[in-house]
Amino acid sequence: MSQVLTDQQVEFYRNNGFCVAEGIIGDQLVERARNVIDGLLSSPDITDVAELEPGDEMMARRIWAPTSRDKVFVEIAEDEILLDAAAQLIGPDIVLQYSKLNVKPPKVGSVVEWHQDFAYYPHTNTDLLACLIYLDDATPENSCLKVAAGSHRQGILSHHVDEHFGGKITSLADVGVDESTVVDCPGPAGTVVFLHPLAAHASEKNTSDRYRRVFIPAFRSADALPIYYGPHAAHNEPTAKLVRGRQATTARCEEGVWQLPLAAAEFNSLYQIQEGSHLDAKKSSTGYFSHETKAD
């Protein structure tokens, strides 16, 4: 296993809940991924593979489960350099929990509200890792990721609206996160933002005239097991795959009390629940969800 991240980057991750590393994914893979995305988004069956921007039937904001759509995304998610870096942060035994791809098209790309990934996917421990891989040069203008540095040390923050999971932190200040800690994470295409599951993060609407596509394979240590099996979380489990090291024979448990993401209605994406549009399309009166539910 090679040391991909410097000691300083690993220490930065431990202290701040994220680190940004340029040049992890090579230009050729990035270019192939962009071409595949163009093909997927020009398909007549676009709604089978993607969630569209509200009010714009030409623009997708999310491609579902990219690793099941084209092998280029498997190649990226299982790239040895990426996994070497992941192993430096979450240990040698690594499961790919799920993958998704946010498109953020020019002028319309939806906002992603403040949230922690762990609030959607609580596990027995916090050795989970989202790898946000920029497929375009990402800057504040086309809405690169923003992180509240150090927020991963504040535990799970409330994502509830009334008594239900709402998928977002309504205001950083209200949950005790210092807004002055917020930093942008820009980087050229091929950069990876390694993100701790308790790091609060967000991104703005894309008002620029450039795409900002990001492919997100989400990993966990093999001994981090889900403690919530509601629909949006359970949906990932059949395809969760050991990509490095050995299957766990024990679950490692951190102490704590973690709120479960019990939403008022099923939701197909983080965008839907954050906007509240999952309530309009309420499919179930019981709060239990169908098998068609997709990952957040």
Ligand X SMILES: O=C(O)CCC(=O)C(=O)O
Coil vs helix vs strand at 96: strand
Sequence length of the chain is 296
Coil vs helix vs strand at 139: coil
Interacting positions 177-206 with ligand X (CB under 6 A) = 201, 203
Q: Tell whether residue 112 is a contact of ligand X (CB under 6 A).
A: yes
**Of 214, 224, 265, 295, which one interacts with ligand X (CB under 6 A)?**
214
- The single residue listed with the structure tokens 């240990």 is 91
x-or-dash string of contact with ligand X, 234-273, rule CB under 6 A: ------------------------------------x---
Answer yes or no: are the C-beta atoms of 127 and 240 closer than 8 Å.
no
Interacting positions 121-150 with ligand X (CB under 6 A) = 145
CB of 287 to ligand X, least distance (A): 22
Q: Which two tokens stand for residue 127?
A: 């050795």
Between residues 89 and 270, which has the closer beta carbon with respect to ligand X? 270
Q: Tell whether residue 175 is a contact of ligand X (CB under 6 A).
A: no
CB of 267 to ligand X, least distance (A): 13
CB of 7 to ligand X, least distance (A): 27
Element at 231 (helix H, strand E): helix 231-234
Q: Which has the closest alpha carbon to 108: 178, 58, 160, 69?
A: 58
CB of 263 to ligand X, least distance (A): 15
For 53-66, the DSSP string reads PTT-TT-EEEEE-G
In one-letter notation, the amino acid at residue 146 is K
Between residues 91 and 217, which has the closer beta carbon with respect to ligand X? 217
CB of 63 to ligand X, least distance (A): 12
CB of 47 to ligand X, least distance (A): 19
Q: Tell whether residue 9 is a contact of ligand X (CB under 6 A).
A: no
| Beta carbons within 10 angstroms of residue 293's beta carbon | 20
CB of 145 to ligand X, least distance (A): 5
- The single residue listed with the structure tokens 């714009």 is 56
C-alpha span between 230 and 288 (Å, rounded)? 7
Q: Tell whether residue 222 is a contact of ligand X (CB under 6 A).
A: no
Cα-based distances in Å from 138 to 19, 144, 195, 257: 15, 5, 16, 36
**Of 9, 99, 102, 268, which one interacts with ligand X (CB under 6 A)?**
102
x-or-dash string of contact with ligand X, 34-73, rule CB under 6 A: ----------------------------------------
Number of residues that bind ligand X (CB under 6 A): 8
CB of 1 to ligand X, least distance (A): 27
Element at 87 (helix H, strand E): helix 80-90
C-alpha span between 164 and 280 (Å, rounded)? 15
Q: Which residues would be at the binding site for ligand X (CB under 6 A)?
A: 102, 112, 117, 145, 201, 203, 214, 270
